[in-house]
Structure 1
Amino acid sequence: MASAMDIRADSVLEGHRPSLLEVIEDKNRALNKKNLVHRVVIIGKLKEDADRSEVGNYHEQLLKNLQNTNQTEPITGLLLVYMKHLVHVMECSADAIMAVVRDMKESKSSPKGFLENSKILVISHDIQNRLYQQWSFRQLDIVAARIESIDSNESTDKVVIDLVTQLLKLGNALAKTPKLNLKNVMDSLHEKLPDLLPQQAVLHYLMEDEDPCMITLEEYINLEEQPFDVVLESELVWPLPTRLFPYK
Structure 2
Amino acid sequence: MTFPGHIRKPNKRAFPVESPLMPQIPRGNFLHLQEEKQRLQLKKFLLHRMFLVAELTANTGKKDIADYYEQMFQSILKHHLEETVTGFLLVYPTSILHILESSSGTLYRILLDYLSHQKSETEFFIQGMRIIIVSHNIPTRLFMQWHISVIKVPVMYLDDVTQTQSVEEVITEFLTQTHKLALHLLKTVKVGAKGPGDNLHQLAPELLIPEQIIKYLYKSEEFMDPETFINTYNKPIHVTLDSEVIWPAPTYF
Give TM-score, length-normalised by structure 1.
Answer: 0.81
- Residues 159 and 22 of structure 1, relative CA distance in 2, 3 Å threshold: same
Q: Is the 1:106–1:113 Cα contact (8 Å) retained in structure 2?
A: no
Cα separation, partners in 2 of 1:50 and 1:111, compared to 1, 3 Å: farther
Q: Please state how far the C-alpha of 1:236 moved relative to its aligned partner.
A: 9.3
Q: Report whether the alignment pairs 1:225 with 2:237.
A: no
Structure 1: gaps spanning 5 or more residues? 1-5, 244-248
Q: Deviations over 1:40-91 (max 9, x none)?
A: 0010001235344311221122112222432042211011111110111011
In the TM superposition, what whole-angstrom CA distance separates every residue of 1:77-125 from its partner, at most 9, and x where no partner exists? 0111111101110110001111111122233331362112100000000
Opposite residue 155 of structure 1, the aligned amino acid is S
Shift of 1:134: 0.9
Q: Is structure 2 residue 227 aligned with structure 1 residue 215?
A: no
Q: Which has the larger radius of gyration?
A: 2
AA aligned to 1:224 is: Y
Q: Which segments of 5 or more consecutive residues in structure 2 lack a partner in the other structure?
A: 1-17
Q: Compute the RMSD of aligned alpha carbons.
A: 3.1
CA gap of 1:104–1:44, structure 2 versus 1, over 3 A, is same
**1:160 to 2:160 alignment:** no
Aligned residue among 38, 47, 60 for 2:57: 47
Alignment correspondent of 1:96 = 106
Aligned residues: 234
* Cα distance change, pair 147–217 in 1 and its aligned pair in 2 (3 A): farther
- Does structure 1 residue 191 correspond to structure 2 residue 202? yes
TM-score norm. by structure 2 comes to 0.80
Paired amino acid for 2:23: S
Structure 2: distance between partners of 1:36 and 1:57: 27
Matched, 1:58 2:32: no
CA distance in 2, matches of 1:137, 1:215: 24
Partner of 2:23: 11
Query: What secondary structure sits across from 2:214 in the alignment?
Result: helix
Task: Say whether the 8 Å CA contact 1:43–1:118 is kept in structure 2.
Answer: yes
AA paired with 2:51? V
Q: Is the 8 A contact 1:149 1:201 kept in 2?
A: yes
Q: Which has the higher helix share?
A: 1
How many angstroms apart in 2 are the aligned matches of 1:101 and 1:199?
Answer: 25
Correspondence 1:1-248 to 2 at 5 A: 11-12=23-24, 15-109=25-119, 110-111=121-122, 113-145=124-156, 151-177=162-188, 179=190, 185-210=196-221, 212=222, 214-230=223-239, 240-243=250-253
Give 2:88's aligned amino acid. L
Could you tell me how far apart the structure 1 residues matched to 2:28 and 2:132 are?
35
Distance 1:113 1:184 in 2: 26
